Amino acid sequence: MSSKFDSNAATLSRFVMSQTNDHDLVILLNALAISCKLITSAVQRAGVAKLYGLAGEVNSTGDDQKKLDVLSNDMMINALIHSGVCSVLVSEENEEPIIVPPAYSGKFCVAFDPLDGSSNIDCNVSVGTIFSVYERKPGSHGSVDDLLRSGAHCICAGYVVYSSAVELVFTFRGGDVHGFCLDSTIGEFVHTREKMMFPADGGKRIYSCNEGNAVHWDDPIQEAVEHFKTAEQPYTARYVGSMVADIHRTILYGGIYLYPADAKAKKGKLRLLYEGIPMAMIIEQAGGIASTGMFEGKIQRVLDLTPNEIHAKCPIIMGGKRDVQVVYDQYAKHGVNVPSL
């Protein structure tokens, strides 16, 4: 079979330049892409390079750190600092924000989870990287306050899924969602998915949640999941446990992903700055709904939340309108005011 070569490949850098004409943004996305290529290499060689197992440390949110977590984090921090366009970095793996030295400082502030779902890494299940990008405030030289803002201020959000193929999915504020596949033959992310959207008819009936927590959920969430299982057209359960993999499937196939607040984790488990906000921006701009479910007394939109600290948490109910409506209907039965979709 003859190989097909593209003499005019639509690479990530070219796409960003054509969309924004912002050289700094091209440099930033290039730095993120380089770190994700390095992480790809580390993930693929983890067994051979003896990178499986624990590093003997705990990260900012209390998870045991894997060797690959630490390596991936170092790769991202080094790439972003030396890009010359960042002033503040926030990582899931670091308790405190990283202030970029003045010699390298630029206009962007980036929050990221370098290796999401890494509890799955030792058994070779999909993992990913998630990031959100803000611009520092006018007059600021870069402080944590530049990041402690709602999703309305996020200018770019994305994730990378490391699996049988490596895909980068991202969006600019107010724009479409686009997918790029890593072509290992040229070492570049190439534009492969244009204007990603939830299936217009709602797509496959899939619900995705950790039912091991069901005993702690509030009644409407329990009732919604029971509905998914017993509906006239019952839903299929799919839960990888890597947020990136579960969200990627939800956008492409349809369905709903839930990690609600519960009696045990009243603010949910997922982090707002580098999980909730970037995924909510992508979900909404792909035509889906990104809700908190019941959170602090009311149902809210994830992108309206303002983090009060860099590792703030939020509950998440994300999916197509058809399926999020099922959850809202259960809350309405309990007398809760629900937004109209």
Do residues 296 and 305 make contact, with C-beta atoms less than 8 angstroms apart? no
CA distance 296 to 63: 25
Q: Catalytic residue, from 146, 223, 246, 275: name it.
A: 275
**Amino acid present at 216:** H
Which tokens sit at 221?
């969430």
For strand 206-208 and strand 256-259, is the pairing parallel, antiparallel, or unpaired?
Answer: parallel
Residues forming a β-bridge with 317: 258, 291
Active site residue 201: no
Active site residue 304: no
Q: Catalytic residue, from 116, 135, 188, 284: name it.
A: 116
The total of other beta-carbon atoms located within 10 Å of residue 222's CB is: 17
Active site residue 218: no
CA distance 333 to 321: 18
CA distance 315 to 260: 5
Q: Catalytic residue, from 32, 68, 80, 115: name it.
A: 115
Active site residue 93: yes
Tracing tokens 């839960």 back to the chain, one arrives at 239
Active site residue 115: yes
Which tokens sit at 275?
């999980």
CA distance 123 to 49: 15
Q: Catalytic residue, from 25, 28, 92, 223: name it.
A: 92
Tracing tokens 């999915």 back to the chain, one arrives at 169
Which tokens sit at 175?
């724009």
Active site residue 146: no
Q: Is 139 left (phi over 0), alpha (psi -120 to 50) or beta?
A: left
Do residues 146 and 136 make contact, with C-beta atoms less than 8 angstroms apart? yes
Q: Catalytic residue, from 69, 146, 223, 246: name it.
A: 69
Do residues 262 and 295 make contact, with C-beta atoms less than 8 angstroms apart? no
Active site residue 116: yes
Do residues 42 and 49 make contact, with C-beta atoms less than 8 angstroms apart? yes
Q: What are the φ/ψ torsions at residue 79 (nearest 5 degrees)?
A: -65, -40
144: closest CA among 292, 6, 30, 308?
Answer: 308
Q: Catalytic residue, from 29, 113, 168, 284: name it.
A: 113
Catalytic sites, residue numbers: 63, 69, 92-93, 113, 115-116, 275
